[in-house]
Chains A and B, each alone.
Chain A
Amino acid sequence: MKTFKIGGVHPPEHKLKTEDPSITLDLPKQGTVFVNQHLGAPSQPIVAKGDKVKVGQLLTKNESFIGANVHSPFSGTVNKIDLVYDASGYRKEAIIIDVEGDEWLENIDRSEDVKREITLNKEEIIAKIKEMGVVGLGGACFPTQVKLMVPEGKTAECLVINGVECEPYLTDDYRLMMEKGEEILIGVSILQKALGVKKAYIGIENNKPKAIEHLTKLAETFEGIEVVQLKVMYPQGAEKQLIYSILKKEVPSGKLPIDIGCVVSNVATSFAAYEAVQKNKPLIERLVTVTGLHVEKVSNFKVRIGTPISMLLEAAGGVPENTGKVISGGPMMGKALLSLDTAVAKGTSALLLMDEKDSHRGEPVNCIRCAKCVEACPMGLEPYLLSALAENENFERLLDENVLDCIECGCCLYSCPSYRPLLDCLRVGKQKARVLQSKN
């Protein structure tokens, strides 16, 4: 079965309650919508305290090339613009809305009917996706329209859709594939049309046989969409690894997928593109997995962006007494939350609660040169060496050792029997090496 060749690890999957349908949560009394929910140029709020907003109304406008709008997921009154903790561990600007009713803008199609015919042309699709604030929902929140605008001199040949969900615990993409399979495929067709590519592959790991079966069957009626079954291996969802697994092509070091004619997107992003283009609906809702081995009601919640996470945690049976860590995202790449006083953002794929005894980092001891990190690194790097170089502040050598190729997947730290903070060091090293590179 297909997978990538270099490195990778296979942590326990812990995909809990995968077959339970997703639950739509009630609207909160007050919503917290972060002003910046994407990677790129910062946005400015265009509403002020006391303004009345409707669902779908623009809250921030971003005209930059790499930028994404934010729309109001709620109808009501802007209470204030305040600083609230987000997943970055810092307080960030957010628009607090007192929710009153659920009044939507008229031009949004709220029906559940599947609209298959794509009437917009290439440019209109890209404009629509930008207008509706669609960003990559795989985690990085990179504005989707930027990926669709192929730079001069490069051509897109195929579209690769990430349905692997390689992070342990997460099930939101799986639920979406099961519940909105047809919409996802229409979304893929929309992205294909925007890029002008004939072929699209959807990669799904074989621990989700039902999703593979479901989408394969649906894909028969779509032109040029192929579902590819992949062997479970982390980090298969990383774009370079995914392209290799499906197409056996390597993205050259320091280059982007588009340099070998590939564009990578995610199933949830495809669904968002469908809603934006076919339903005129901005990205104001998403599925969030609330999970953890000791969580009472592990579920996938369909929530408006801006819903306080306390509501989700409560719906999942509350935060158990012995919780040591709350992670936004998966256990391999997610961010530990500093405060539970935050809200769902576009990139919040999951809330993972870890038992206190599983939350601690092991006490680091000397490196025993076991080479497990070298074996695990999917980029073919030598994490033991890179971390030592970073600690000795030898940033020039770090650049020579290709530190910038590190995708921060965490395989090295995961597999280190000495509990050395390898990835921590590498991140510091990467940051400093990048500064050095930009100077030279």
Chain B
Amino acid sequence: MNAILLSVIIFVSLGAFAATILYIIGKKFYVEENPLIGVVSDLLPGANCGGCGVPGCRAFAEVIVKQGSMAGLNCPPGGADTVQNIAKALGVEAVVEDPKIAVVCCSGSRANSPKKADYQGLQYCGFAHSLYTGEGGCPNGCLSLGSCVKACQFDAMYMDEETGLPVIIEEKCVGCDACVKACPRQIIELRLKGKKSRRIFVSCVNKQKGALAKKSCSVACIGCSKCQKICTFDAVTMQNNLAYIDYEKCKLCRKCVPECPTNAIHELNFPPRKVVEKTETVEN
């Protein structure tokens, strides 16, 4: 009995002693901090993805509180809700940016751009980029080593084994920019998500002249400017033998898509074209 009592006393006093020390230290080393930082930080997704341009959510919260508003700042994974909630907490007007999504602008799959060599070594696109054009021979195309997939923290990408190209899972992509930065060839672009997630883009970044581009990839943009001529909204620009569709100007009319002789212009999430339209395309 005595032994039990003794051990209880010892442990209780030990606990009390430790608690006192903790309390004193907690008081003494207390760091004065704007409580808003904690509030804002709690509202952020906590993914630490870096999509806002600041390393980590806590650091981003500090930036927001210091600035006092969300102007010019955006949390891509959080989206409009997060921005509005933070603005509310700060008591300012919310500036909601239109959501963006990553788009892979290369269709140099194994079928379209057959392997001309086999790469062995470090599975890192940046290194392969410094060695050679890539297995398919396109100097601007996808190297198929998946550095973008490794960079994605939201499991929103995977490598398609058959095509050798990265695929973006639209529901999961938050537009954080990580894959864009990871790609040594600027194949991935953040584009406006668009109404019903509909997008039209040139799925090629090959800057070579048409004949050469076609040599390495059957669906390369050959810089023929047909899409530019047909576009009524001035959304298509030609540079370095390459067409680019400005997502701010594009009205998603889809006229350019059938016009492309190499099928380099892709449309996403549109309903299938009407049969009449299709026959027209063939006639053209």
Binding site for B on A (CB under 8 A): 83, 88-91, 335-336, 338-339, 360-361, 421, 424-425, 427-428, 431
Instruction: Tell me which residues across on chain A come within 8 A of B120, comparing CB atoms.
Output: 360-361
Known contacts A91-B139, A91-B212, A338-B117; A428 and B122 CB within 8 A of each other: yes
18 extra interface residue pairs, beta carbon distance < 8 Å, beyond A428-B124, A428-B126: A89-B131, A89-B132, A90-B132, A91-B139, A335-B131, A336-B131, A336-B132, A338-B133, A338-B137, A339-B116, A360-B120, A361-B121, A424-B122, A425-B122, A425-B127, A427-B130, A428-B127, A431-B130
- Docked pose: A336 CA to B133 CA in angstroms: 12
- Docked pose: A327 CA to B239 CA in angstroms: 35
CB distance from A147 to the nearest CB of B (A): 26
Interface residues of B in 113-146 (CB under 8 A from A): 116-117, 120-122, 124, 126-127, 130-133, 137, 139
Encoded as 1 (CB less than 8 Å from any A CB) or 0, chain B from 99 to 121 comes to: 00000000000000000110011
Instruction: Tell me which residues across on chain A come within 8 A of B130, comparing CB atoms.
Output: 427-428, 431
- Docked pose: A339 CA to B124 CA in angstroms: 22
**Total A-B Cβ pairs within 8 A:** 43
5 residue pairs bridging A and B, Cβ less than 8 Å apart: A90-B132, A338-B133, A421-B122, A427-B127, A428-B126
Give which listed residue, A83, A338, A361, A427, contacts B212 with CB less than 8 A. A83
- Docked pose: A91 CA to B126 CA in angstroms: 18
Known contacts A338-B132, A339-B116; A90 and B122 CB within 8 A of each other: no
Say whether A89 contacts B133, CB under 8 Å.
yes
Instruction: Tell me which residues across on chain B come within 8 A of A89, comparing CB atoms.
Output: 131-133
Most central of A89, A90, A427, A428 by chain B CB within 10 Å: A89
- Chain B residue nearest to A335 (CB atoms) is B131
Query: Which label, helix, strand, loop or mixed, suits the secondary structure of the B interface?
Result: loop
The 3 closest A-B pairs by CB, nearest first: A89-B132, A424-B122, A421-B122
Most central of B116, B124, B132, B212 by chain A CB within 10 Å: B132
- Docked pose: A90 CA to B122 CA in angstroms: 19
Instruction: Tell me which residues across on chain B come within 8 A of A431, comparing CB atoms.
Output: 126, 130
- Docked pose: A431 CA to B125 CA in angstroms: 14
CB distance from B86 to the nearest CB of A (A): 29
Say whether B132 contacts A421, CB under 8 Å.
no
- Chain B residue nearest to A88 (CB atoms) is B132
Say whether B133 contacts A424, CB under 8 Å.
no
- Docked pose: A421 CA to B120 CA in angstroms: 10
Instruction: Tell me which residues across on chain A come within 8 A of B133, comparing CB atoms.
Output: 89-91, 338
Encoded as 1 (CB less than 8 Å from any A CB) or 0, chain B from 157 to 193 comes to: 0000000000000000000000000000000000000
CB distance from A154 to the nearest CB of B (A): 32
Instruction: Tell me which residues across on chain A come within 8 A of B116, comparing CB atoms.
Output: 338-339
- Docked pose: A263 CA to B255 CA in angstroms: 65
Instruction: Tell me which residues across on chain A come within 8 A of B122, comparing CB atoms.
Output: 421, 424-425, 428
Instruction: Tell me which residues across on chain A come within 8 A of B124, comparing CB atoms.
Output: 424-425, 428
Say whether B127 contacts A424, CB under 8 Å.
yes
CB distance from B142 to the nearest CB of A (A): 16
CB distance from A435 to the nearest CB of B (A): 11
- Chain A residue nearest to B137 (CB atoms) is A338
Instruction: Tell me which residues across on chain B come within 8 A of A424, comparing CB atoms.
Output: 121-122, 124, 127
- Docked pose: A73 CA to B150 CA in angstroms: 48
- Docked pose: A421 CA to B126 CA in angstroms: 14
- Docked pose: A428 CA to B212 CA in angstroms: 29
CB distance from A391 to the nearest CB of B (A): 8
CB distance from A341 to the nearest CB of B (A): 11
Instruction: Tell me which residues across on chain A come within 8 A of B117, comparing CB atoms.
Output: 338
- Docked pose: A425 CA to B127 CA in angstroms: 8
- Docked pose: A369 CA to B130 CA in angstroms: 28
CB distance from A150 to the nearest CB of B (A): 32
CB distance from B128 to the nearest CB of A (A): 9
- Docked pose: A321 CA to B143 CA in angstroms: 27
CB distance from A116 to the nearest CB of B (A): 45
Instruction: Tell me which residues across on chain A come within 8 A of B137, comparing CB atoms.
Output: 338
- Chain B residue nearest to A85 (CB atoms) is B133
Encoded as 1 (CB less than 8 Å from any A CB) or 0, chain B from 63 to 98 comes to: 000000000000000000000000000000000000
- Docked pose: A286 CA to B60 CA in angstroms: 60
- Docked pose: A179 CA to B118 CA in angstroms: 39
- Chain A residue nearest to B122 (CB atoms) is A424
Say whether B121 contacts A90, CB under 8 Å.
no
- Docked pose: A339 CA to B133 CA in angstroms: 11
